[in-house]
Amino acid sequence: MLKLIIGDRNFSSWSLRPWLAIKQAGLPFEETLIPLRSATTKAEILKYSPSGKVPCLIDGETVVWDSLAICEYLAEKASSLWPSERKARAEARSVSAEMHSGFVALRQGMPLDVRASQPFLQPSVEVAADIARIVAIWESCRQRYGRKGPFLFGHFTIADAMYAPVAWRFLTYHVDLPEASRKWVETMVALPAMQEWRNGAVAEAD
């Protein structure tokens, strides 16, 4: 059985991405959670992940680390995780890679904190630019693929998983969104898997 090593649900945006993908794909897996803010964190993660970071996926003798690499590996087991049409699939990969490698200002200025509510944060110019770019991606995808379903490319794909932590961020920091983007966020957070993730984040505090 697949084994996924993750960090704290409240803070580990990178862990959420493949965890959500594997849940939505319906693939059976075991989960190991390693708290990220302890003296033994690095040593515990290194038992599984050669990078010393989470997430990490173990499939028998195969070890896959890095969120996007894990998602790509999962897509080989569940083809529905990418759009079936080549052009849409290429775009979904592009926006996923852009999320993976970019938006540094957003990550730093609006860190993931699922449990928090901070409506009065004033974003910097750099963070505002990242928000605008993300909204442009969401609005474009929903305009062109909305007739196929409620997700970025109609049905749930890795692109949705890659932007899932941003949905939580925008809720935490009360970011105003245009209608299509707001409805996508509402669709995402209503997913049973996303509610399970949030409940886990709350339980960590308890």
Q: What secondary structure does DSSP assign to 135-146, as a single string?
A: HHHHHHHHHHHG
CA gap 116, 54 in Å, rounded: 22
CA gap 126, 137 in Å, rounded: 17
Per-residue pLDDT of the chain (206 residues; tens, 9 = 90+): 999 999 999 999 999 999 999 999 999 999 999 999 889 999 999 999 999 999 999 999 999 999 999 999 999 999 999 999 999 999 999 999 999 999 999 999 999 999 999 997 889 999 999 999 999 999 999 999 999 999 999 999 999 999 999 999 999 999 999 999 999 999 999 999 999 999 999 999 76
What's this model's pTM, rounded to 2 decimal places? 0.97
CA gap 143, 141 in Å, rounded: 5
- Identify the structural domains of the chain with CATH numbers, from first to last: 2-79 (3.40.30.10), 82-193 (1.20.1050.10)
- Kindly report the backbone phi and psi dihedral angles of residue 27, in degrees, each rounded to the nearest multiple of 5, phi listed first: -85, 130
CA gap 51, 156 in Å, rounded: 29
59 beta partners: 62
- Sequence-ordered alpha helix ranges (H) in the chain: 13-25, 41-46, 67-77, 86-101, 104-109, 125-145, 158-172, 179-190, 192-205
CA gap 120, 1 in Å, rounded: 44
